Amino acid sequence: MASIPLKKKTYPASFLGQWSMFFRQFVKHPGMIGSVIPSSAALVESMLAKVDWQRTRLFVEYGPGVGTFTRPILERMHPDAKLVAIDLNLDFVAWLEAQIDDPRLRVVHGSAADVRRFIAESGHRQADYVLSGIPFSTLPDGVGDLICAETRRALRPGGEFLVYQYSAFVRRLLAAQFDEIVERVEWRNIPPCRMFRALKHESLAQAA
């Protein structure tokens, strides 16, 4: 699925505007969105704290929604780096296209399961980091396993899959694909949120 060219707005949406957009999409597609409100600033800070921004040249985001992580990622990213943001919800894709005007960002409409195709279309081979806000526990059967397997293949050796979730469901899917999982909880989010760093070790990566 292709990205959608829209006229850029000259001002960003207000905080309330973003929440209202997010809530309306939750009412339309509760299973796909998986949360009533966007992630908190505390969660964003904790999730991005360990990223090596100097070394990162390709960052991929699954489920950007209204851009809660997208903007902070762009703020931290190297001027030569690229961010590919993939969302299944066309309304969110159109919203982000209209709201964020940054040549380093490419927003695509589609599933995270097709991450390798989107990376190739962006002129890259593998990503340094993939960050996911997808609600794994409400995905159709088999889709979560496929996304985790494809994400491992999409990451360079030494790359990381960063996942935030309200349940522990995804842990088993990550453990099946990655060499090491580091788990923490961000208590300052509503509700408290589990944070996973799934690591693809350099020495074990030749099989992928």
Whose structure tokens read 């380093």?
A: 104
Q: Does 33 bind ligand SAM (CB under 6 A)?
A: yes
- In the set 3, 21, 39, 156, which binds ligand SAM (CB under 6 A)? 39
- In the set 73, 84, 100, 112, which binds ligand SAM (CB under 6 A)? 112
Of 87 and 160, nearer to ligand SAM (C-beta) is 87
Cα separations in angstroms, 108 against 89, 100, 141 = 10, 13, 23
Minimum gap (Å) between residue 135 Cβ and ligand SAM:
6
Q: Does 63 bind ligand SAM (CB under 6 A)?
A: yes
Q: Does 136 bind ligand SAM (CB under 6 A)?
A: no
171 with 181: CB under 8 angstroms? yes
CA dihedral 8, 11, 15, 20 (to 10 degrees): -40
Q: Where does the chain show beta strands of DSSP type E?
A: 58-62, 82-87, 105-109, 127-132, 155-165, 180-186, 193-199
Q: Does 18 bind ligand SAM (CB under 6 A)?
A: no
134: number of Cβ within 10 Å: 24
Stretch that binds ligand SAM, among 6-14, 49-57, 60-68, 150-158 (CB under 6 A): 60-68
Of 68 and 177, nearer to ligand SAM (C-beta) is 68
**Residues making contact with ligand SAM (CB under 6 A):** 32-35, 38-39, 62-65, 68-69, 86-89, 92, 111-112, 133-135
